[in-house]
Amino acid sequence: MFTAGCTGSDDSGSSRAGRNFRPGADGVGDLYFPTYGNGGYDVANYALKVRYEPDGDRLAGTATITATATADLSRFNLDLVGLTVTEVVVDGARSDFRHDDGELVITPKRGLARDDRFTVEVEYHGLPEPILSPDLGEGGFMATEDGAIALGQPESASSWFPVNDHPEDKASYDIAVTVPQELSALSNGVPGERSTEDGWTTWRWSERTPMASYLVTLVIGNYRVKTATHDGKPLVTAVAASLPEGGPAERSLERTGEISDFLATQFGPYPFESYGGIAISDRRIGYALETQSRPVYGPAFFTSGPNDTVVAHELAHQWFGDSVSVRRWSDLWLNEGFATYAEWLWTQHDGGISAQQSFDRAYQDTDWAKPALDPGRAALFGRPVYQRGALAVHALRLTVGDEAFFRMLKTWTAEKRNGNVVTADLVTVAERVSGRTLRPLFDAWLSGTTAPPPPPPAS
């Protein structure tokens, strides 16, 4: 949507008198990733129009970003890696910009006053490239044999569109992707109308529920796409054509609705307007990621047969991580601990070992010298964040009892829906719901350096 004539461009000067316009920060201040995201504004919506040519690996796009200034801005930044910007328009006026070191610095014709709603349109093109991290490996936009994949955590979005690339600034998305007509172009949210012209097809997707930027995905290539309806909402699954038809990946994704329904009995109503999953064949992707409403699964998870556990993990993230998102990356256990615990719940529900048995096994196999909370940047995706996180969740359950525990989970997902949280917020909710003092328990299970004794089941 293009908006002209907002207060930020008011020529009368009456609303601008006495304001001290300053540059917005070039990062949100996350201690692990200081340059991620930007300060001074809050994005409401990204409207992306992208065209990708696999022959030559060329991307061209227009991003229309609707935002509100949270400070008096003389200029502001967007994150964009490795592409060429040709034009920037702010509220209908061409604006000065510079682009280097992954930062697109935009200087509008007139300062943007705090609380002003404004629109930025950025035209760009080029050869997209992955984002390399010395601690976390490769992510972002990667060309494949038959298309491309844009995927990664903690960042990937800035490799294919200009963005405020930190989970603290969630927004809605409207995405239109034009590709050769023989290919599929998959993304997040509700599928829209497809159109084909001159050998090119435009796929449209809309995610109206606020989404963190690292949860946006784009998967282009030869895929078997199935669209159904589940609980009145679209369920879109896609499996790479190079994977066996009716094989382990396809059979696992077919349980998406069933697993989502079970998790809803544990965590509360499913938080989004669509369901789905994408199974890719590119072996560079050795992980699965909870991309909002439509997780992406790497091929390694299905080499030995169907894998419902990984599906349960990524679907649990729709509540823990996607709907309720971290405010800072050091609290990532809030995502991974609960998703790992969901694996234990699903395994028990599906006829496997009990959650208590999963707890007992993980307890014996844990390095208690390594914390789950604030583990350090290099250990962000290490085993303690996942396993100690899940152990802490089960210890909480044993301490407060099942009734209070599951009531607390549903209270948490309802009260914090679409928001950003830190660990202290969870402690506050858990103590309020249970009527118990729980800070020492969380400290011991998340950060202590020796194994805490397992709590006896609550009477």
Strand 200-211 relative to strand 218-221, pairing: unpaired
Q: What is the pLDDT of residue 6?
A: 35
pLDDT at 243 over 90: yes
Q: What is the C-alpha radius of gyration for the chain, rounded to an integer number of angstroms?
A: 23
Higher pLDDT, 14 or 366: 366
Mean pLDDT over 64-76 rounds to 98
Separation of CA 287 from chain center: 14
| pLDDT digit string, tens, across residues 349-364 | 999 999 999 999 999 9
441-453 per-position pLDDT tens digit = 999 999 999 999 9
What dihedral angle (degrees, nearest 10) is formed by the CA atoms of 425, 271, 236, 152? -20
**Using CA atoms, how far apart are residues 178 and 112, in angstroms rounded to an integer?**
33
Interatomic CA distance for residues 224 and 209, integer angstroms: 26
pLDDT, one tens digit per residue, over 145-189 is 999 999 999 999 999 999 999 999 999 999 999 999 999 999 999
Output the pLDDT for position 269.
Answer: 98
Q: What is the pLDDT of residues 100-123, one digit of tens each?
A: 999 999 999 999 999 999 999 999
Q: At what angle are helices 383-400 and 423-434 packed, to 10 degrees?
A: 10
Rounded to an integer, the average pLDDT of 33-47 is: 96
Does the pLDDT at position 400 exceed 80?
yes
Statement: residue 407 has pLDDT above 50: yes
Q: What confidence category does residue 13 fall into, taking pLDDT thresholds of 50, 70 and 90?
A: very low
pLDDT of 4 higher than 60: no
pLDDT tier at 457, thresholds 50, 70, 90:
confident
Q: What is the pLDDT of residue 133?
A: 73
Q: How confident is the model at residue 14, as a pLDDT?
A: 38
Instruction: State both tokens at 109.
Output: 């014709």
Q: Specify the pLDDT at position 156.
A: 94
Quick one: pLDDT at residue 33? 93
244-266 tens-digit pLDDT: 999 999 999 999 999 999 999 99
